[in-house]
Amino acid sequence: MKDAPYFLRPVGIVRSSLRSREGCPKQGGEGAPDAWLEIDPAFTEALDGIAVGSDMLILTWLHEGRRDLLRVHPRGNPDEPLRGVFATRSPDRPNPIGLHRVEVLEIQESDRIRVGPLEALDGTPVIDIKPVLPESEER
Amino acid sequence: MKDAPYFLRPVGIVRSSLRSREGCPKQGGEGAPDAWLEIDPAFTEALDGIAVGSDMLILTWLHEGRRDLLRVHPRGNPDEPLRGVFATRSPDRPNPIGLHRVEVLEIQESDRIRVGPLEALDGTPVIDIKPVLPESEER
């Protein structure tokens, strides 16, 4: 496949009730809702083997993130001293990739997956899906 | 910043004794060595706050991965039935992003970080670094 290096192809999109960055929980465990992942039909074969009840890692493209910030106030709190973005989970970072651990709640028509909790905005591109490794629970 | 959408900028590179995919452990915990991350000077400010002893997630661009495979034999074992790549951690996937949990072992000259264990090949581009979230140990 003749992709340019470092060029991502979205494999799906997040459909969520979360519509603005301001109203978004910082992490899934902080009250984020369930969301649907709509997978591009070109990639549904890659979902084979994902089952309801599985814990998965969803990688997203945080399309509203700022790529020119190298330090931020953690959690957007101006009282916190500035810290390098690689020491935070800020969506503002050179490559605005989000990493979300979710549970698979429902699979419909083989290309729609309900997962939760997910703190990503409606319309966020999905770029990868990975299983949580059983031996370590975090890779 | 006027990047094209979905275009990644490497922020550093892996320097490792691992030189070929064939000799690579499948996961860090399977005997992978320590490795150095050489961070591009343009991004060293983003490292501020990372300390020796921290657990971090390293995101890499698995540049030898095949992007046109949607099903693989898990762990490259032909006896395992084919499974969708999103249900595996195969480096062959539409967007070949690797996710590695490591410990920070040493920091030199503010832009060289020794981490381990890391199963990525020498020369693998680093695209993001994130802290492991303390409240969940896996996000």
CB atoms within 10 A of CB B77: 9
So what's the pLDDT on residue A110? Answer: 86
Give the chain A residue whose CA is nearest to the CA of B135: A29
| Residue A85 confidence (pLDDT) above 70 | yes
End-to-end CA distance of chain A: 28
How far is the CA of B102 from the CAs of A101, B1, B20, in angstroms? 18, 30, 20
Q: What is the identity of the amino acid at A78?
A: P
What tens digit of pLDDT does each residue of B91-127 get? 999 999 999 999 999 999 989 999 999 999 999 999 9
Output the pLDDT for position B139.
Answer: 42
Over residues B124-137, the pLDDT tens digits come to 999 999 999 865 54
CB contact under 8 A, A94 and B61: no
Cα(A32)–Cα(A116) distance, integer angstroms: 8
pLDDT at B135: 58
Global pTM reads: 0.92
Average pLDDT, chain B: 91
Task: Tell me the average pLDDT across A81-85.
Answer: 97
Query: ipTM for the complex?
Result: 0.91
Q: Which amino acid is at B18?
A: L
CB proximity B38 to A under 8 Å: no
What local confidence, expressed as pLDDT, does residue B110 receive? Answer: 86
Per 3-state DSSP, what percentage of chain B is helix, strand, and coil (rounded to 5)?
10, 30, 55
pLDDT the model gives residue A136: 52
Query: Strands B35-39, A83-84: parallel, antiparallel or unpaired by DSSP?
Result: unpaired
In chain B, residues 64-83 whose CB comes closer than 8 Å to chain A: 66-68, 70-71, 82-83
